[in-house]
Amino acid sequence: MSIVSEKMYQLGSKRSEIRELFEYGKKRTAEVGAENVYDFSIGNPSVPAPDCVREALANLILHEDPVALHGYTSAQGDADVRKACADYINKTHSANVSANDFYMTCGAAASLTISLNALSTGANEEVIVLAPYFPEYKVFITQAGMKCVEVKCREEDFQIDFAALESAISAKTKAVIINSPNNPSGAVFSEKTIQTLSALLTRMQETFGTTIFILADEPYRELVYDTETVVPFIPNYYDNTVVCYSFSKSLSLPGERIGYVLVPPKAAEHDALYYAVCGAGRALGFVCAPSLFQKIVPACIGKTSDISVYKKNRDLLCDALTKFGYQVVHPDGAFYLFVKALEPDARAFGEKAKAHDLLIVPSDSFGFPGYVRISYCVSTEMIKRSLPAFEALAKEYGKA
Ligand code: PLP
């Protein structure tokens, strides 16, 4: 018997499929040169952080007291930073939140683990995820002592299948995780969808006499590309919502680990829930998110990197792949394309793509087999260079 936790060993010794492919890409680049490898594996923003980040950092480093700047903030985050978050949310979404509803975190991953641990009472609870979903959800949910229940979205547009969702909800349902804009499908849930979801959950709460939360996982909130695409602010539609936000993608800062949990005032047992969030942050070792990057938030909140690059990439890839005979659901947001594999086994298809040095992620770990995810947060130049490889791959299957 080992002296280490078998559960943690399993998690740590097996890299995720995405990371595995990313590492393979690095190895392959060393062998054949970067210009011959088309790495679409990972969601690492490819455009630099906006100027406000550099300016805010320079200003802080040159003018702030270094001891205070790099010191601990309050466990839940600097009070001025949390106030800036509250002011921005109130101004943008006509909400009524305050600094004391926010807990600054190390990105959306921490926001989710903190929220799930805060909600888990140990009473055999379930959390519903809508497939396709970010694979780490399963890890976060089970680690918080709850069961992950998958509900598939509609295949034609990756929108919510409300009949399937309703039949998955039971007295055990503690929360539903909503990720819009979505990784990996790029789908965005419209206002009407959120209204329907809210009505369903309200009815289910009454049926079972329980409280069901929406965990709104929102690292891609600002990444939408058409003026008609609006991302509703879910607490305005459903009271029992906890927002898990991250600046990783909007400001191109994934390595800096900065985000927040927002417990809106109308959420059930608000004060207890906020304290449970603080407690989970403490228990998980997430007190005091990185101080320097907390302090750039007041100057940068609401701004984004140059996302026009992602729009250009999306349109270029969607048009070309459709022309080559691939089945693509046009994504409204995030920076992923979810494409039907040209054979039923997406892993086998991914291996054939690899032979063309196209690194695309099979969808099995997203809970929706038969597809591949293509991250288009890469250089436009690489996309252009990759198109002949996508065409050759399609030809192998009698397309293009
Ligand atoms: N949720 C989704 C849907 C994601 O795609 C990611 C990262 O790619 C995360 C959460 C984690 O984000 P962060 O890097 O801010 O922890």
> Which residue among 251, 270, 300 closes a domain?
300
For residues 301-325, average pLDDT: 97
Atom of ligand 1 nearest to the CA of 249: 15
Confidence of residue 131 (pLDDT cuts 50, 70, 90): very high
Report the pLDDT value the prediction gives residue 14, as an integer from 0 to 100: 86
Cα 22 to averaged position of ligand 1 atoms, centre (Å): 16
User: Among 18-22, 62-66, 140-144, 395-399, which stretch is predicted with the lowest mean pLDDT?
Assistant: 18-22
Q: Measure 219 CA to ligand 1 centroid, in angstroms.
A: 6
Full domain range(s) for residue 99:
65-300
**Average pLDDT over all residues of the chain:** 97
pLDDT beyond 90 at 15: no
The yes-or-no verdict on residue 400 having pLDDT over 80 is no
Per DSSP bridges, beta strands 259-262 and 336-340 are: unpaired
Total residue length of the chain: 400
Residues 135 and 252 in one domain: yes
Atom of ligand 1 minimally distant from the CA of 107:
15
Q: Is residue 1 part of a domain?
A: no
pLDDT at 65: 96
The number of beta carbons lying within 10 Å of the beta carbon of residue 385 is 14
Helical H segments across the chain, by residue range: 6-13, 17-32, 51-63, 66-70, 79-93, 107-119, 136-143, 162-168, 191-208, 270-283, 291-294, 297-300, 308-323, 346-354, 380-396
Same-domain status, 75 and 211: yes
Confidence of residue 17 (pLDDT cuts 50, 70, 90): confident
The last residue of one of the domains, among 244, 265, 300, is: 300
> Quick check: 241 and 213 in contact, CB under 8 A?
yes
Say if residue 70's pLDDT is above 80. Answer: yes
Q: How many domains does the chain have?
A: 2
Around ligand 1, the residues with Cβ closer than 6 Å are 43, 107-109, 134, 179, 183, 217, 219, 246, 248, 254, 259
Atom of ligand 1 nearest to the CA of 217: 1
Strand 241-246 versus strand 213-218 pairing type: parallel
Identity at 250, one-letter amino acid code: S
Does residue 209 sit in the same domain as residue 356? no
- For the stretch 196-240, pLDDT in tens is 999 999 999 999 999 999 999 999 999 999 999 999 999 999 999
Tell how far the Cα of 1 is from the centroid of ligand 1, in angstroms. Answer: 35
Is 97 found in the same domain as 39?
Answer: no
CA of 152 to the centre of ligand 1 (A): 20
Last residue of a domain, one of 264, 279, 300: 300
My answer on whether 145 and 202 are in the same domain is yes
- Ligand 1 atom nearest to CA at 106: 16
- Decide: pTM greater than 0.95: yes
As a whole-number percent, the residues of the chain with pLDDT over 70 amount to 100
Q: How confident is the model at residue 381 (pLDDT cuts 50, 70, 90)?
A: very high
